Chains A and B, each alone.
Chain A
């Protein structure tokens, strides 16, 4: 089930990346850039990324 979701996400991302203009077909990174314009959101996302890395390293 999780593999299907990962594949669906990757396929949607690739489809958006291959289409133009970017303003009409945002990729995850372009959506993230919108959210990360504020430093608190960016810092929280970075902390979440670090926590995910720590959780994976502990397993």
Chain B
């Protein structure tokens, strides 16, 4: 796989997510992203997983540490 193929894979998943969101808002057959997050948020374990994922994303993307 090349860089373009790998990045294209991410782009495909992102486009699919946008398509699902638009279809959910249009047809109502599927939950929107907000509704899905709310459904996970109803359970204590789900809230903990969402919080951990949010913290991980923030740490992973925004913390700049120099290890050397």
A residues lining the B interface (CB < 8 Å): 1-2, 5, 8-9, 12, 16, 19, 23-26, 28-29, 31-32, 36, 42, 45-46, 49, 52-53, 55-56, 59
Q: A2-B33, A12-B13, A56-B51 are in contact. Are A29 and B60 (CB under 8 A)?
A: yes
Partner of A59, one of B13, B31, B37: B37
> What A residues does B16 contact at CB under 8 A?
5, 8
The digit string for B47-62, where 1 denotes a CB below 8 A from any CB of A, is: 0001100100110111
Does B7 sit within 8 A of A, measured CB to CB? Answer: yes
Interface of B is mostly: helix
Nearest CB of chain A from residue B3's CB, rounded to whole Å: 5
Task: Assess whether B2 is in contact with A24, with CB atoms less than 8 Å apart.
Answer: yes
Interface of A is mostly: helix
Interchain CA distance A45-B62 in the complex, whole Å: 9
